[in-house]
Amino acid sequence: MRRTTTRFVLTVTVAVLAAAKVVAQQASSAESENSQSNAGGEETVVKQVVDGIMQPYLAQATRMGGGHRWSRSPDLGAIVAVSLHGHRYFFPYGKATNSGAAFTRETIVEIGSCTKTFTTTLFALAINRNQIMPDAPAQRYMPNGYTLRAQQLTPRELADFTSGMPDDPTNLPRMLERRSIEYYTVRDFLTWASNYQPRTRLPAPYKYSNAGIGLLSYLVATATGKTWEEQVNSEILQPLGMADTTLRTTPEQQRRLAQGHNRAGQNAPRWPVYAWYAAGGLRSTAHDMISFGEAYLGHQEVNSKPVPDQLTAAMQLAQKPIFTMPNGNKQAMAWVNNMRGGSPVILKNGGTAGFGTGIAICPNKDAAIFIGMNQAGAQPIAKGVEILQHLP
């Protein structure tokens, strides 16, 4: 990430030529749109950077990551959305569906754990409104009828992954579809969370936890008197004009869903709505997610709508570093501040059984990026960071 621009361009050029046959359909179908009239020079530069990084990456047939082998689906596709100085650009690659439909900025993907940033935004709103105290006992905000064994647990520890909670509830059914909220209910989840007992003194060392963010959402709901879905819609989606971000898709939206694939490149089932859906249940589009990114950059207006001051303040709080992790990055509320490279990048990745996603912002460059790929284990966030760091 610290290479000179010249060396970067030479390296990418060789890789692109080698992968030309594989990504021909990607290059030929690439569309680029900007939300405002803008000189073509910036668009050309952005396209060169994005293509130079994404095309070789998407051409990889296999790779290893996290101890897992990843094999490229023949129907692999991606959508990259970039906002630079308020101008938006969209770059589609490959296929959104097995029938050959192209990715567009309106294609709906499962954003997985990028959902967590919506939850911590709501948490930050509640903090700023004095509805919830981040360092008070979490028990104060538990839904009626539930008592935490972990009396020392705080909401902030759930938001920054120092609660010690495991990634997911430990009593889940084995089959994915049996984990949906219809089978493993909210009551099942809250009963499990109530019985959670940390193995160490809190705050515990960093440990990523879907369950922790899921529990946090119920605390915020109790503190505010509104459900998570109600708050996401009224506090984030409606003010930012994000009409295609949802927990449950409509019949019309289902026609725009991309087909996901597992690590082996085979069709993946749709991601269930879990009882801890606030950690990973949202579906969205590149258009909506880049809108979210622009709001996190502090833009006063998104989609021709003024961003509420309270929402901007909450987003600033949610992305503020809380502690430094062993790798040198700084953990915020779900967000990670990547301190390596020329400019700090604030990011969150996501993944489901069939998708890999990532959203990141670079305030120093007034730039945001969202990448959605229709294959699990793709981990596009690293490419998103690389793209941001190579933008002018």
**DSSP per-residue string spanning 181-242:** TTTS-HHHHHHHHHT---SSPSSPSP---HHHHHHHHHHHHHHHTS-HHHHIIIIIIHHHT-
Dist CA 212 CA 126 (whole Å): 17
pTM, 2 dp? 0.89
The candidate with the shortest Cα–Cα distance to 157, out of 118, 222, 228, 206, is 206
The answer to whether residues 58 and 20 touch, using CB atoms and an 8 Å cutoff, is no
Main-chain phi, psi angles of 316, to 5 degrees: -65, -40
Helix (H) / strand (E) containing 301: strand 301-302
Dist CA 50 CA 319 (whole Å): 25
Dist CA 349 CA 117 (whole Å): 10
Q: Which 3 state secondary structure label does DSSP give 77?
A: strand
Dist CA 265 CA 267 (whole Å): 7
Read off the tokens for 18: 């080698």
pLDDT in tens, the chain (392 residues): 333 333 333 343 333 333 333 333 343 334 444 444 344 699 999 999 999 999 999 999 998 766 778 999 999 999 999 999 999 999 999 999 999 999 999 999 999 999 999 999 999 999 999 999 999 999 999 999 999 999 999 999 999 999 999 999 999 998 888 899 999 999 999 999 999 999 999 999 999 999 999 999 999 999 999 999 999 999 999 999 999 999 999 999 999 999 999 999 999 999 999 999 999 999 999 999 999 999 999 999 999 999 999 999 999 999 999 999 988 999 999 999 998 777 899 999 999 999 999 999 999 999 999 999 999 998 899 999 999 999 99
| Distance of alpha carbon 79 from the chain centroid | 14
At a CB cut-off of 8 Å and minimum separation 6, what does 281 contact? 115, 247, 271, 273, 274
The answer to whether residues 314 and 125 touch, using CB atoms and an 8 Å cutoff, is yes
23-57: pLDDT as tens digits = 333 433 344 444 443 446 999 999 999 999 999 99
Rounded to 10 deg, the angle between the 381-390 and 40-59 helix axes is 150
The answer to whether residues 261 and 375 touch, using CB atoms and an 8 Å cutoff, is yes
Residues forming beta bridges with residue 349, ordered by sequence position: 358
Residues in the chain: 392
Dist CA 16 CA 130 (whole Å): 53
Amino acid found at 387? I
- Token look-up 């003194």 returns 201
Main-chain phi, psi angles of 319, to 5 degrees: -90, 0
The answer to whether residues 351 and 357 touch, using CB atoms and an 8 Å cutoff, is yes
Q: What angle do CA 95, 350, 3 make, to 5 degrees?
A: 85
Burial 335-364 (b: 16+ CB within 10 A, else e): bbbbeeeeebbbbbbbbbbbbbbbbbbbee
Read off the tokens for 288: 């909506």
Dist CA 153 CA 162 (whole Å): 9
Dist CA 333 CA 374 (whole Å): 26
pLDDT of residue 63: 83
